[in-house]
Structure 1
Amino acid sequence: MLQTQKKQKYNFSLLKKIILIKSLVVIFATGLFAFSNSDEILSTNKNSSLLLTPISNLNDEEYDKFILGRSFFTVPWVEAPSATTARDGLGPLFNANSCVSCHPKNGRGTLISKDNITSRALVARLSIKANDSLEHQELLKYQGFVPEPVYGNQLAINGTLNVDFEGNIKIDFEEKVIIFPDGEKQILLKPKYQLTNLNYGPMHKDVNISYRIAPTLNGMGLIDLISNEDILANVDESDSNNDGISGRANFVYSTLTKQIELGKYTWKASVVFLKEQVASAASNDMGLTTSLFPNENCTQAQKECNEAVKPREAIDLPDERLDAITYYLKNIKAYIPKDTKEYNEGLALFEAISCSKCHIPSFDTKKGFKIAPFSDFLLHDMGEDLADGRVEFMASQSEFRTAPLWGLALHEKINKEKPRLLHDGRARSFQEAILWHGGEAKSSKENYMNLPKEKREKLIKFLEEL
């Protein structure tokens, strides 16, 4: 009897193991823990249309959603009322009438247009210093900054019929000469941007203006595949390892989850999810309302803006279309450089002068493959020369999220010119961008300056292929 019971117990235990093994086989086969093939998502094909290409193996339903998102990303919006409700609602104040206006072929924006005027891809973000009022404390909690009272979050360079645009951005520079230890000279361009033709009167006496150029959309959908734990593992606020680098996370309010989350998007890591970033750009750049930002971007002082004709629909960009745009950006192919001898030699130099401590070359994704954003997605003090004076949630006046470097190799293919680098487009080359680095990056800049010229050139060629 005892032996029979033991045998039954053993058989039951064995049965449980068999069921568990079969269940795991089913789980892996159905994709719950399946690893995506990175070749479906990443490409070494450096051409001007890569960022318009969907990832491989989308089914018919997924491809239809991708095409729907692409259409709302590329086709211009129009002023309400119009014959169609699908694309009306532009403005009343806006910078561009389509997403692609600032992100040509989903790439990085240009600084100066082909007509030799300021590109729409350069925007002026506006804020003022917060006081102790309840209103300002609420704005800091939910927006991360206090908007300029008359002009709002961002200067609008266009307006619809009977609504005056807010102003224009004028570009000017002064030269700054840098001399390397070996005698090489490099001229830097220090920006002297200013706002002109202000149609709503003078701005607040304490206004802060941060000029920002539209980044490449390469890999935007892949950022969500990096775990928060992997990003936070690189936080070192107190510089415990004494390397002079103290990356900080920006914890911000999410309009989606209605709680504080880890920021990963924008120049100051002030947005949590890609959908929020799309909705924010729709509001600030095109004046389109969404469920996340349901109000027109008019301030109380802008009478004509508030009285402008409203679209027939309460929301210009309903969730279905907002989700489609987000899906589109999440499912475009991303560029990665070829793994060559030159690439690895350049990477070794990049690591040797400590650039990789902030521009972390790669992360593992939740789907089991590596991506190479060359960023830690943390905030770093970049020094007085690059400070924009703007606070966004926990980001200070001189802190920026480490700019991802991936996809910049496509800029020249797309725009027939080299990319203007840094947040405000002041740098005409990677060398100029490096020489503007200060604060936590000062030692890396000095390391670069002390390299022999042939190694500096090799490093720049490496960066130009990222």
Structure 2
Amino acid sequence: MMLQIQKKQKSNLLLKRILFFKSLVAVFATGLFAVNSNKEVFTNKIEKNSIFKSIKGLNNEQIDRFILGKSFFRIPWVESPSATTARDGLGPLFNANTCISCHPANGRGVLYSKNNELSRDLVVRLSIPSNNSKMHQEELYKNGFVKEPIYGAQLSINGVHGVKYEGKPTLEFSEVKVTFPDKEVVTLLKPKYSLKELNYGKMQDDVIVSYRIAPTLMGMGLIELISNEAILANEDIEDKNNDGISGKANRVYSVLTKKIELGRYTWKASTATVLEQIAGAMHNDMGLTTPLHPYENCTKAQKECNEAIIADKYEFDVTEDRLKSIEYYLTHLQVYKPKEDENFKKGLNLFKNIGCASCHITSFETKIGEIRPYSDFLLHDMGEELADGRVEFKATGSEFRTAPLWGLALHEKINNEKPRLLHDGRARNFQEAILWHGGEATNAKLNYMNLSKEKREELIKFLGTL
């Protein structure tokens, strides 16, 4: 009987997925963005809710769509079964029960919670080296990495009733002194990671653990407007211009198109579209099924997790309409843009002169005009000190996507504290983030270190306005 139920589940899920993917054809043909001018998109207000509002120019139907997506983004999901059928299905394993809990006011996450414990905004990604087996090769092609066999792709710090959470992360820092040519000495914090309370046994010995702090959600719709050609124009894998920078695009498998696409999102550019990014986060962070991830995030070794699945539930936790509404919400948020006065222009020139703009490209042209994400969306080798050892499609263990810098000015207003920077939040300020740069960014870092203290402060002030 159970086998028949499981077969019926898979049949229903397969049919729903086919219908879902067919419905996306119109979206790819027409594009996501509802306006054709950047006048409706940008705001220069530095407020807590600056990027929590919709772009201007939406009609009543579009505003309703935006509000619907916002509700699924910010209202908590609950364990199934529940009277709240529109928002049940949380878990069985999960990190957070709302999207907004990791992306406050759609901004960057924080490293520590108010009680000085590691925040759930910091997730633990897990993988193991490939053994070149057929199964591992398939995982590499479809996922970009090989999951840890017992704990899967991401450590879950929470579980629903009757399901033990997977474990808890710990993070300690040691101090590293850096001396500038002008004799100023600063202290960096070098992270030491570990995991505790592993409830499903020991992980594989060669597990690769990478800590990732939640990035801002600002501008996700604009990033999707940048053409592939514009991004690939900056690719220089062989460093033919001999500038020490050899950015490359990540090529990733898209579950939507069933082919290899250009990666744009995540710390290693391992996701091609906003929709796939949303579905991935819902699956990994909240244990929610979608047409893109139709099965629960339990591994075979997790007995209680598998037994918690409701056998006769054929519907996705997040249906096609709800998933698309969340996508609409995130792609139609206002985007912060600083006022470009004389001080801003001076800082921007300094930013360019020392080489930061070689990777943090200042602007792209799109169908709504110029946008300034301060990223080339390419992978760069950041050196041994920042390397996490994790492979994601074409990204090696020391390569990361150039992090967009837009929206940094809003973090302190949103979270009442300065942003923790870099992929694992180790940097307490902009200067520390610069000093951790290595690999292809070494020359830019050295150029910064050789500036006068006055000029260094000028650059830091500029970064705080972005």
TM-score, reference length from structure 1: 0.92
Write the distance in 1 (CA, Å) between the matches of 2:257 and 2:265.
16
1:334-349 correspondence runs (5 A): 334-349=335-350
Q: Which residue of 1 aligns with 2:10?
A: none
Count of matched residue positions in the alignment of Structure 1 and Structure 2: 434
SS at match of 2:177: strand
1:313-462 correspondence runs (5 A): 313-367=314-368, 369-462=369-462
The answer to whether structure 1 residue 221 and structure 2 residue 203 are counterparts is no
Give the aligned residue type for 1:316.
D
Q: Which residue of 2 aligns with 1:271?
A: 271
Q: Which residue of 2 aligns with 1:246?
A: 246
Contact 1:128 1:206 in 2 (8 A): yes
1:5-24 correspondence runs (5 A): none
Q: Which residue of 2 aligns with 1:291?
A: 291
Shift of 1:115: 1.0
Q: Which residue of 1 aligns with 2:5?
A: none
For structure 2, list consecutive stretches of 5 or more residues without a partner in the other structure. Answer: 1-30
Q: Deviations over 1:233-289 (max 9, x none)?
A: 000000000000000010110011110000000000000000000000000000000
Percentage of matched positions with identical amino acids: 64
SS at match of 2:174: strand
Write the distance in 2 (CA, Å) between the matches of 1:109 and 1:333.
18
Shift of 1:35: 7.8
SS at match of 2:51: helix
SS at match of 1:156: coil
Give the aligned residue type for 2:316.
I
Write the distance in 2 (CA, Å) between the matches of 1:342 and 1:334.
21
Contact 1:227 1:366 in 2 (8 A): no
Give the aligned residue type for 1:437.
H
Contact 1:81 1:312 in 2 (8 A): no
Contact 1:128 1:147 in 2 (8 A): yes
The answer to whether structure 1 residue 49 and structure 2 residue 49 are counterparts is yes
Q: Which residue of 2 aligns with 1:204?
A: 204
Write the distance in 1 (CA, Å) between the matches of 2:112 and 2:169.
11
Give the aligned residue type for 1:410.
L
Write the distance in 2 (CA, Å) between the matches of 1:299 and 1:312.
19
Q: Which residue of 2 aligns with 1:150?
A: 150
TM-score, reference length from structure 2: 0.92
1:49-88 correspondence runs (5 A): 49-88=49-88
Give the aligned residue type for 1:295.
Y
Write the distance in 2 (CA, Å) between the matches of 1:463 and 1:313.
49
Give the aligned residue type for 1:233.
A
Write the distance in 1 (CA, Å) between the matches of 2:242 and 2:35.
38
Contact 1:274 1:326 in 2 (8 A): yes
SS at match of 1:240: coil
Write the distance in 1 (CA, Å) between the matches of 2:434 and 2:278.
30
SS at match of 1:193: strand
Q: Which residue of 2 aligns with 1:20?
A: none
Contact 2:35 2:57 in 1 (8 A): no
For structure 1, list consecutive stretches of 5 or more residues without a partner in the other structure. Answer: 1-30
Give the aligned residue type for 1:377.
F
Shift of 1:85: 1.3
Contact 1:68 1:324 in 2 (8 A): yes
Deviation >3 Å, runs of 4+: none
Give the aligned residue type for 2:391.
V
Shift of 1:345: 0.4
Shift of 1:84: 2.2
Contact 1:145 1:392 in 2 (8 A): yes
Which region of structure 1 is more displaced relative to structure 2, 317-326 or 305-314?
305-314
Write the distance in 2 (CA, Å) between the matches of 1:37 and 1:378.
26
Shift of 1:325: 0.3
SS at match of 1:62: helix
Shift of 1:415: 0.3
SS at match of 2:100: helix
Q: Give the 3 Å change call, closer, same or farther, for CA 35–201 of structure 1 in structure 2.
A: closer
Q: Deviations over 1:324-347 (max 9, x none)?
A: 000000001000111111110000
Which region of structure 1 is more displaced relative to structure 2, 310-319 or 420-429?
310-319
Shift of 1:220: 1.1
Q: Give the 3 Å change call, closer, same or farther, for CA 462–90 of structure 1 in structure 2.
A: same
Shift of 1:194: 1.1
Q: Which residue of 1 aligns with 2:172?
A: 172
Contact 2:279 2:293 in 1 (8 A): yes
Q: Give the 3 Å change call, closer, same or farther, for CA 112–34 of structure 1 in structure 2.
A: closer
Shift of 1:313: 4.7
Give the aligned residue type for 2:43.
S
Write the distance in 2 (CA, Å) between the matches of 1:324 and 1:281.
15
Shift of 1:182: 0.3
